[in-house]
A and B are shown apart, each in its own frame.
Chain A
Amino acid sequence: MSAIASFDSVSKKYGRAPALRATSLNLHRGVVGLLGPNGAGKTTMLRLLSTALPPSSGRIVVCGFDVTESHADRVEARRRIGYCPQEVTFPRGMTAFAFLDYLAVLKEWTDKGRRHAEVERVLDLVHLGDRGAMKIAKLSGGQRRRLAIAQALVGSPDLLILDEPTTGLDPEQRASLRGLLSGLAGTVLISTHQTEDVSALCDRVLVIDAGAIRFDGTVTELLATAAGRVHLGPAATSGAVQTWKTGTGLVRSVGGQPAPDSSVVDPSVEDAYLLLRSERHTPQGVNP
């Protein structure tokens, strides 16, 4: 299966500070989750892939077009990319429909009738079909977030890049977004702090830390890294990475040496992520 997008030894520096170390990976169809702490390089990686940011070195190919090669290739790639940044500053006084109409013009939807129909379609996808005529200033935070996602969906892109799309959404809206993303035909790359989104939605997980990919595999493979290392007992385990008292009064310990009266429990994606973070893995980075 050919890759929709690929990084070949891509790195990015801001001044002298490395934001992303030389990284190689291929993205195929499906939903890929990008996990990592703040400042790990998630947003840099997404911006590089979206072509909003040029790399310091390396080669990025999207849908067969080398975005680092020529402007013409970059424009071709952009016709196939939908990108929703982490934070969107909306124009004051614009309606939801007018905002999407404007972005659709920038995405080369020149026929007014088809463009307006497309705007209606993406508004419906994010359940804002009845809010098109409403000023953005009057929309709630969750509705604005969905509007930002809607603009990325214009034109049904082959590669959809979403930077923390579920921030500000309530559980029902998050579930609805999961349903939408899981039904898309192309490649979806989402960065998130919500580990439950990853376990519920993603075919593949990338864990990035300090500008390097620390894990690349399926959710099952990620969970396997924490198997037998999460315990529940009356007291915290010695040397645990994280411990907290659960609602039952028992203490859940991630990592460490288990106490004799504690029992092993199934790890969550969050447990596996915390354990990964606590260790210094050799970067994997390459996915064939």
Chain B
Amino acid sequence: MTWHIDAPVWEAYAEGRLEPAAELSVESHLVGCPECRSAARSQVPARTADAVWSDVRLTISAPSPSLPQRAMQRLGVAPDDAVVISAADAFLVPWAVAVGFAVVSACVVGLAGLGPASRDAAFLALAPLVPVLAVVTSYDALDPLRELMAPTPYSKLRLALLRAAAALAVAVPATMMIGLVVPHMDDLALAWLAPALGLTLAALVLLTWLEAWVTAVLVASAWVTVVALLRVGDRVDALTTPLGQVAFVVAAGGLVLALVLRTSTLRLQGGEL
């Protein structure tokens, strides 16, 4: 190097008084001049250099929000909640299960060549189970980290409900799409929602006692049995009548109460949800 940065230039650079072109010239010179790099150290206070370096490290290390995180934040979900909901790629599993099950349900219902009554029964048997599976798998997805999460102050109920809500946000629209897309399902497109609400809450209550997979099998087999029995008696319509729908909503209310009571009891006993 034939020249070096002198004191007045350093001072102007540090104070941000240089023109952009001169600033660029200083920075380009620093890249190739060890003496000026060394001199630069004495121009910048150690505290400032540490702070800048810390920012650089954070920019490199800190994860940029993932696509689901950004989507959740746009929808008004708090950034912390978005981190909790989308933590771990494990969360992709419930989404994949929910959407996958919905697609399989569509194939069964729409393409199996069933008669109208059997088609309706098949749809009502399968569609409410989509959110149940999504919630159960999202709950199960927490398991690998359960040992680490247990001794943290974060509410386990809140954690489970946050993830359940996120799973439902995908599962419910996906299932509604099927009801709307598959021919002749128009009248059932919304009728599955009330049973789905009741079954999902029943699953959440059972999860306080049972393993996730046992819960899924119990709820699914019980529900499919009920619909099959109604189909045999040619009374599947009972599920979609206003009285039937109200009965599911009332049952859902009871299950909410049961969930609150159960979690309160667990907390008193020293357990967790």
Cβ of A103 under 8 Å from chain B = yes
Interface residues of A in 70-93 (CB under 8 A from B): 70-71, 74-76, 78-79, 81, 83, 85, 88-93
Report chain B residues within 8 Å CB of A83.
148, 151
Select which of A85, A91, A120 is within 8 A of B147 by beta carbon.
A85
Shortest Cβ distance from A266 into chain B, in angstroms?
A: 40
A107 pairs with B152, CB closer than 8 A: yes
Cβ of A101 under 8 Å from chain B = yes
Report chain A residues within 8 Å CB of B3.
none
Report chain B residues within 8 Å CB of A106.
84, 149, 152-154, 159
Q: Do A101 and B83 form a contact, CB below 8 Å, given A54-B269, A89-B145, A120-B61?
A: yes
Select which of A70, A91, A105, A123 is within 8 A of B144 by beta carbon.
A91
B62 pairs with A97, CB closer than 8 A: yes
Cβ of A98 under 8 Å from chain B = yes
Residue of B79, B154, B159, B270 with highest tally of chain A CB at under 10 A? B270
A116 pairs with B84, CB closer than 8 A: no
B61 pairs with A105, CB closer than 8 A: no
Cβ of B150 under 8 Å from chain A = yes
C-alpha gap A76/B153 in the complex (Å): 7
Shortest Cβ distance from B117 into chain A, in angstroms?
A: 45
Q: Do A71 and B268 form a contact, CB below 8 Å, given A51-B151, A107-B153?
A: yes
Shortest Cβ distance from A71 into chain B, in angstroms?
A: 4
C-alpha gap A74/B271 in the complex (Å): 10
Produce 1/0 per residue, B73-88, CB < 8 A to A.
Answer: 0000001100110011
Cβ of B58 under 8 Å from chain A = yes
C-alpha gap A50/B270 in the complex (Å): 12
Select which of B54, B80, B89, B159 is within 8 A of A94 by beta carbon.
B89
B61 pairs with A54, CB closer than 8 A: no
Chain A: CB-nearest residue to B86: A102
Cβ of A112 under 8 Å from chain B = yes
Report chain B residues within 8 Å CB of A79.
153
B63 pairs with A52, CB closer than 8 A: no
Chain A: CB-nearest residue to B58: A116
Interface residues of B in 75-133 (CB under 8 A from A): 79-80, 83-84, 87-90
A105 pairs with B89, CB closer than 8 A: no
Report chain A residues within 8 Å CB of B270.
54-55, 67-68, 74
A102 pairs with B87, CB closer than 8 A: yes
C-alpha gap A67/B84 in the complex (Å): 25
Shortest Cβ distance from B266 into chain A, in angstroms?
A: 9
C-alpha gap A92/B72 in the complex (Å): 22
Q: Do A105 and B80 form a contact, CB below 8 Å, given A91-B89, A91-B90, A120-B54?
A: yes
Cβ of A282 under 8 Å from chain B = no
Report chain B residues within 8 Å CB of A74.
270
Report chain A residues within 8 Å CB of B54.
117, 120
Select which of B57, B154, B267 is within 8 A of A105 by beta carbon.
B154
Report chain B residues within 8 Å CB of A107.
152-154
Shortest Cβ distance from A107 into chain B, in angstroms?
A: 5
Report chain A residues within 8 Å CB of B271.
54
B153 pairs with A91, CB closer than 8 A: no
Report chain A residues within 8 Å CB of B60.
132-133
Cβ of A129 under 8 Å from chain B = yes
A132 pairs with B151, CB closer than 8 A: no
Cβ of A279 under 8 Å from chain B = no
A112 pairs with B87, CB closer than 8 A: no
A91 pairs with B148, CB closer than 8 A: no
A132 pairs with B84, CB closer than 8 A: no
B147 pairs with A52, CB closer than 8 A: yes
A132 pairs with B148, CB closer than 8 A: no
B84 pairs with A102, CB closer than 8 A: yes
Cβ of A95 under 8 Å from chain B = yes
Chain B: CB-nearest residue to A60: B270
A71 pairs with B57, CB closer than 8 A: no
- Chain A to chain B contacts (Cβ below 8 Å), 8 pairs: A52-B147, A78-B151, A92-B89, A94-B88, A106-B153, A107-B153, A117-B58, A132-B61
Which A residues have a C-beta under 8 Å from some C-beta of B?
50-52, 54-55, 67-68, 70-71, 74-76, 78-79, 81, 83, 85, 88-95, 97-98, 101-103, 105-108, 110, 112, 116-117, 119-120, 123, 129, 132-133, 151
List 18 other contacts, CB 8 Å, given A50-B150, A78-B153: A75-B153, A76-B153, A79-B153, A91-B90, A92-B88, A92-B89, A93-B89, A94-B89, A95-B63, A101-B83, A102-B87, A106-B154, A107-B152, A107-B154, A112-B79, A132-B60, A132-B62, A133-B60
The 6 closest A-B pairs by CB, nearest first: A132-B61, A54-B270, A91-B88, A89-B144, A71-B267, A52-B150
